Amino acid sequence: MRVTGRDRPGITAGLLRILDEAGAAVEDMEQIVLHGRLNLGLEVIVPGGRDLLKELLLFGWEHEIEIGFEVAEEPVEARPLGHVVTIVGERLGPDALGMVADAVAAGGANIERIARLARYPVWSYELLVSGGDPTEIRTSLLTAGAAHRGVEVAVQAEGLSRRAQRLVVIDVDSTLIQDEVIDMVAEAAGVGEEVAVLTERAMAGELDYEASLRQRVRLLAGTDASVLERVAERVRLTPGAATFIRTLQRLGFATAAVSGGFLEVVEPLRRRLGIDHAHANSLEVVDGRLTGELVGEVVDRAGKARLLERIAVDEGVPLEQVVAIGDGANDVDMLAVAGLGIAFNARPVVKEAADATLSVPYLDAVLFLLGVRREEIEAADATSGNS
């Protein structure tokens, strides 16, 4: 049955009442209301000898709705689990949506359902896709997304693990915050340009991270350690960062900040946002000044992945239920270990290694990849008084 017309209370209830009184069985049912218009589909097994057409058509006439029928000899088989395709962009028009539909068809798959997730701060839609070859679908979609400027496409397998991702591990510099902390410290120490060049090359994967970090830290030798407090006060959160962490907490997710930067700046951020775990490098301080050396184990590319695994064990979360977010080459191993690795405004080397990419300036857009709708975020904020 296909039911369409102006939506009003009691339509679905009335139809189901007629079916119940006739002894019919409902095998499947989906409904959506778009701009006040009802679109309802039902798969119904009608008992032998009972003609429901007149009753249903009379109901439709009385309530000004259209009811169409299609007779099938056998019930439609339940569809197997497919994939969830999430589209994110500053503005998603028919060109971008059509590109995704074409890519799905090219992979031999079919779009089962489309739902809008957000219109602010970016637009986002979620598509449930079935059939086709998973590898071909992913390749087709990611290729199409990369060729369409301003549109991000993420593909994830549908299933319990997607709904149960309960640990989010996030990089700090240029991800959770807009700044590169070591560059800010270096600027205060008078070696800003020299350090910034090394930072950029390290994040692009051109230099060994630990070696370049130690080289940059040595340039800070003799700097008054109080500069770290001033930098911690000056760092700028990425737009949407507070909303992102706050929403994860409401969902019951554990959160962790894992940084190749400095704990002296990351720890205040952890306290400010209420993040559960924070790990970063520690600078050696003697007589109130930086010595140019690090203390303890270095948090580098491999170290970030090890920390993610350790935190997941501590939280009792399987790796397939972990989300990792980062932008630099030192995040690649961490993204690979996680069940879902997201490259956020990342360098090309990171995008190539990630499961999904986001190149928008809002960190809370990551929530859409987790299936969270903007209206849900705003409703929760309104209830608690947050903005």
| CATH number, position 30 | 3.30.70.260
The angle at the Cα of 273, spanning 267 to 275, to the nearest 5 degrees, equals 65
Query: How many structural domains does the chain have?
Result: 3
User: pTM score, two decimals?
Assistant: 0.85
What is the domain range of residue 98?
Answer: 83-160
Same domain, 186 and 87: no
Determine whether 171 is an active site residue.
yes
Predicted pLDDT of residue 106:
87
Same domain, 204 and 308: yes
Same domain, 189 and 215: yes
Q: What's the CA dihedral at 234, 235, 236, 240 to 10 degrees? A: -140
Smallest CA-to-CA distance from 355 within 371, 367, 369 is with 369
- Picking from 42-46, 88-92, 134-138, 282-286, which range would have the lowest pLDDT averaged per residue? 134-138
269 vs 148, which has greater pLDDT?
269
Predicted pLDDT of residue 75:
65
Same domain, 179 and 233: yes
Angle at which helices 241-250 and 263-273 cross, to 10° = 60
Q: Where are the alpha helices (DSSP H) in the chain?
A: 11-21, 53-62, 94-106, 134-147, 160-163, 181-189, 192-203, 209-218, 227-234, 241-250, 263-273, 301-315, 332-337, 348-353, 366-369, 374-384
Which residues, including other chains, have CB under 8 Å from residue 374's CB and lie 6 or more apart?
117, 118, 119, 120, 124, 368
Angle at which helices 181-189 and 209-218 cross, to 10° = 30
Same domain, 28 and 92: no
At 297-320, the pLDDT tens digits run 999 999 999 999 999 999 999 999
Same domain, 111 and 190: no
Same domain, 156 and 251: no
Residue 160 has pLDDT above 80, yes or no: no
Residue 387 has pLDDT above 70, yes or no: no
Same domain, 47 and 108: no
Mean pLDDT calculated for residue range 355-372: 93
How far, in whole angstroms, is CA 168 from its chain's centroid? 10
Residue 145 has pLDDT above 80, yes or no: no
Predicted pLDDT of residue 157:
84
Map tokens 């009802």 to a residue.
38
Domain assignment present for residue 141? The answer is: yes
At 61-116, the pLDDT tens digits run 999 999 999 988 776 666 677 889 999 998 898 998 999 999 899 888 899 899 99
Domain assignment present for residue 32? The answer is: yes
Q: Measure the CA–CA gap between 29 and 68, rounded to whole angstroms.
A: 15
pLDDT above 70 covers a percentage of the chain that reads 98
Same domain, 150 and 171: no
pLDDT band at 136 (very low <50, low <70, confident <90, very high): confident
163 vs 125, which has greater pLDDT?
125
216 vs 161, which has greater pLDDT?
216
Same domain, 141 and 194: no
Determine whether 314 is an active site residue.
no
Q: Measure the CA–CA gap between 296 and 92, rounded to whole angstroms.
A: 47
Residue 163 has pLDDT above 90, yes or no: no
At 365-377, the pLDDT tens digits run 999 999 999 999 9
- Picking from 67-81, 158-172, 188-202, 371-385, which range would have the lowest pLDDT averaged per residue? 67-81
Q: Exactly one of 7, 20, 133, 173 is catalytic; name it.
A: 173
31 vs 49, which has greater pLDDT?
31
Q: Exactly one of 171, 179, 331, 333 is catalytic; name it.
A: 171
Predicted pLDDT of residue 213:
93
Predicted pLDDT of residue 78:
63
Residue 278 has pLDDT above 80, yes or no: yes
Residue 10, Cβ density class (10 Å: 0-12 exposed, 13-18 middle, ≥19 buried): exposed
Mean pLDDT calculated for residue range 40-66: 89
Same domain, 98 and 132: yes
Most confident range (mean pLDDT) of 50-64, 198-212, 313-327 is: 313-327
Q: Measure the CA–CA gap between 387 and 381, rounded to whole angstroms.
A: 6
- Picking from 152-156, 253-257, 272-276, 363-367, which range would have the lowest pLDDT averaged per residue? 152-156
